[in-house]
Amino acid sequence: MPRGDLFPDIAPYETGLLPLTGGHVMYWEQVGNPRGQPVLFLHGGPGAGAGAVHRRFFDPAHWRVVIFDQRGAGRSRPLGELRENTTAHLVRDIEALRRFLGIERWLLFGGSWGSTLALAYAQEHPQRVTGCVLRGVFLGRRAEVEWFLYGLKRIFPDAWAAFAEHVPPEERGDLLAAYLRRLTHPDPAVHLPAARAWSQYEGSCSTLLPSPETVASFAQDRTALGLARIEAHYFANDLFLPPEGLLGRMDRLAHIQAEIVQGRYDMVCPPETAFELANAWPRARLTIVPDAGHSALEPGVRTALVAAVERFRRRG
């Protein structure tokens, strides 16, 4: 897939491992200009981890880009660990990383679950946030989780059938519980096939047009295990969000500017959620990409995201 609208590949100028609570260790890296304007990249999932392509949304001459893998995800350790793994832990981890790196305030950039975590962090620490660039908005509500587990059957019946048929017919009335039992089973012969089935389902539904490259990347064992196990864990616990939900605390962000980018045909996180968020956020600008689904790497979405980041650069 040509990605000429992204910035060129770049290596980190610094990487590290930050010890956290509960035996977790966070992988982090910094890319771009060490004296530049700070921006924090928040990956999706939960549990998907970050990759080299995510560095390319930012002009390395201007931005000091901080990227990290959340608890249990990607290059953080232990992979797929669920103990002491909640949204509150992740918010505290972000603050620990900010203090460790000596950053006063930063722009938040996140898509899908990354948008959820960005909102949760910003609502807890609004004084640390210069703005938000969010994509494929997910607010973690029960109806959104149910849509992922069952509603997508209406649009992707073939992908959903493969997802559901991984478990016996008598367990398909509660796919989340059925998958969580398998994903937390100690035997790799049980949890790895379940992780692949879950992750391939998500990857198959993430783009407007079929993308074997996307599905293959989701199906890799390390990506699949972190994504599927942690995602199921969070889904089973209402994403560890406050009872009033994220929309119930939007008054805390009324002064913060935001750019929201949403694919018109995003089936994983349908556009109505982005509309609700934009309507609750006086300083948010919503961009609908007319020919895109959920993935950040769809041509129209990545172009809109780069443009959104550039608008924040011009604002200073």
Q: Per residue in 274-314, pLDDT tens?
A: 999 999 999 999 999 999 999 999 999 999 999 999 999 98
Averaged pLDDT, 255-274:
98
Among 238, 253, 276, the domain-final residue is: 238
Are 24 and 17 in contact by the 8 Å Cβ rule? The answer is no
Cα angle at 86 between 82 and 88, to 5 degrees?
A: 155
Same domain flag for 149 and 120: no
Pairwise CA distance, residues 179 & 36, whole Å: 44
Averaged pLDDT, 163-168:
98
Are 117 and 73 in contact by the 8 Å Cβ rule? The answer is no
Residues 6 or more apart in contact with residue 131 via CB below 8 angstroms: 107, 108, 256, 257, 258, 259, 312, 315
Q: Is the pLDDT of residue 1 over 90?
A: no
Among 191, 219, 238, the domain-final residue is: 238
Same domain flag for 245 and 288: yes
Q: Is the pLDDT of residue 4 over 60?
A: no
Report yes or no on 46 lying in a domain. Answer: yes
pLDDT at 219: 83
Report yes or no on 167 lying in a domain. Answer: yes
Averaged pLDDT, 186-198:
98
Q: Is the pLDDT of residue 124 over 80?
A: yes
pLDDT at 142: 97
| CATH number, residue 308 | 3.40.50.1820
Same domain flag for 41 and 67: yes
Report yes or no on 2 lying in a domain. Answer: no
- For residue 202, give its domain range: 143-238
Active site residues: 112, 266, 294
Report yes or no on 8 lying in a domain. Answer: no
Averaged pLDDT, 134-151:
98
Among 178, 209, 238, the domain-final residue is: 238
Same domain flag for 199 and 78: no
